[in-house]
Amino acid sequence: MRTPLHAAHLRLRARMIAFAGFEMPVSYSGIIDEHRAVRAAAGLFDLSHMGEFEVSGPHALELLELALTNSAARLREGRAQYTLMCAEDGGVLDDLIVYRIGAERYMLCVNAANLPIYRESLMALNSRRAEFRDLSPETALVAVQGPRAAALLGSLASFPIQAVPAFGVAEGKIADVACLAARTGYTGEDGFELFVGAELAERLFAAILESGGAFGLKPCGLGARDTLRLEAALPLYGHELDRATSPLDARLDTFVKFGRGFVGESALLAQHERGPAKVLVGLVTDDRRTIARQHYRILSAGREIGAVTSGTFAPTMERPIAMGYIGAAEPHAPGTKIEVEVRGKAVPATVTALPFYRRPRRTA
């Protein structure tokens, strides 16, 4: 499949790859160059492969409270929250963001690869028949991320977009294109995700790209998105999150609100009482050059104690970083010495605190 911005990526000579059933740009000028643009100024991303569902009506909140680990009842209109969907055994089916865009109207932004899971799970739970619409085919998603993102979009918006708070959402026009603008992202930087009609996506993308030059903006692909999210220690489904992993394993306890009867609550409550079997940690290889990749074994004195979930070269730190799970009974405090098995060789490494990168406080 192709997003509405496919032709724009080809004109920009992006390097394209297959991802979640779509042909997507992995990079334009290079992953490190794009990564640094987001950290220093701004980056423009096509995220139109993501899925969007609308749940509305008098039973909408009831469905979300049953399906999701975080409590949507806490959401005011014009606000968003991170949450997860679990199976009965507490394993993660996926993570997502919920936006409350009306009194009885919510939008869910979900991972493209798991769209069928969402449809099936929500429909199975929807006994009270909340209104449900799959908005994915008609919706494109463009993200502008970085310390200059708000200033750039402020120069194009017909509404006070810079006043939108973190995890806030507002409707208005940007470059004369109607959008739903959410102050959310997946890079560890300030920024916005702009939901727009698919037929208007290319017009919006081009306008932001044209005006963005003065702000240091660059188009960015999935490669930089991955290095940025890993520096910020943001989980990725299929890596830090999967059916064999619970939100408690992943240190996402704050997004689990007990006492509501959501799917998987009993299993998670039991795990909360006995403690998780594994814990997510950050690690760095001591030689500063070996990259610990997904599935590499984590060792302690030659004994396997866990596995790497994500690893990359971090442009901001200028060294390899990784995340992985270690058995909860094993020493895992920051500073603990471990090894990573790389091509049959045990490479010394050190457990480190997460996140690797935290953005400095800046004004827009």
Q: What is the CATH number of the domain that holds 182?
A: 3.30.1360.120
Question: Between vectors from CA 186 to CA 249 and to CA 281, what angle results, nearest 5°?
Answer: 30
Q: Is residue 257 part of a domain?
A: no
The Cα–Cα gap between 160 and 162 comes to: 5
Q: Is the dihedral of CA 97, 159, 45, 363 positive or negative?
A: negative
What single-letter DSSP state applies at residue 9?
H
Q: Are residues 150 and 213 in the same domain?
A: yes
Q: Is residue 102 part of a domain?
A: no
Q: Are residues 37 and 154 in the same domain?
A: yes
Residue 364: the pLDDT is 44
Residue 363: the pLDDT is 47
Q: Are residues 282 and 211 in the same domain?
A: no
Q: Are residues 219 and 304 in the same domain?
A: no
Q: Are residues 197 and 344 in the same domain?
A: no
Residue 362: the pLDDT is 61
Q: Are residues 158 and 216 in the same domain?
A: yes
Output the CA–CA distances (angstroms, integers) from residue 146 to 89, 173, 219, in the order listed.
38, 20, 12
Residue 104: the pLDDT is 97
Domain containing 334 — which CATH number? 2.40.30.110
Q: Is residue 281 part of a domain?
A: yes
Which stretches of the chain drop beneath a pLDDT of 70?
362-364
The Cα–Cα gap between 65 and 260 comes to: 7
pTM (2 decimals)?
0.96
Q: Is residue 260 part of a domain?
A: no
Q: Which residues contact 142 (CB under 8 A, 6 or more apart)?
A: 5, 44, 45, 46, 47, 48, 193, 194, 196, 201, 204, 205, 208
Is the omega angle on the peptide bond into residue 315 within 30 degrees of 0, that is, cis?
Answer: no
Burial class from Cβ neighbours inside 10 Å (0-12, 13-18, 19+) for residue 129 reads exposed
- Picking from 194, 211, 231, the residue at the C-terminal end of a domain is 231
Residue 119: the pLDDT is 84
Q: Are residues 214 and 327 in the same domain?
A: no
Q: What are phi and psi of 198, to 5 degrees?
A: -55, -35
Q: Is residue 334 part of a domain?
A: yes
- Burial letters 72-105, b for 16+ CB under 10 A, else e: beebeebbbbbbbbbeeebbbbbbbbbbbbeeee
Q: Which residues contact 58 (CB under 8 A, 6 or more apart)?
A: 104, 130
- Picking from 201, 231, 261, the residue at the C-terminal end of a domain is 231
Q: What is the DSSP string of 159-201?
A: S-GGGPPTTBEEEEEETTEEEEEE---SSSS-EEEEEEEGGGH
Residue 116: the pLDDT is 84
Q: Is residue 29 part of a domain?
A: yes
Q: Are residues 143 and 227 in the same domain?
A: yes
Q: Is residue 188 part of a domain?
A: yes
Q: Are residues 301 and 180 in the same domain?
A: no
CB 295 within 8 A of CB 343: no
Q: What is the largest CA-CA distance in the chain?
A: 61
Q: Are residues 144 and 38 in the same domain?
A: yes
Q: Are residues 144 and 44 in the same domain?
A: yes
Beta-bridge mates of residue 355: none
- Picking from 207, 231, 255, the residue at the C-terminal end of a domain is 231
Q: Is residue 181 part of a domain?
A: yes
Q: Are residues 38 and 145 in the same domain?
A: yes
**Neighbouring C-alpha atoms within 13 Å toward the C-beta of 126:** 16
Number of structural domains found in the chain: 2
Residue-number span of the structural domain to which 301 is assigned: 277-352
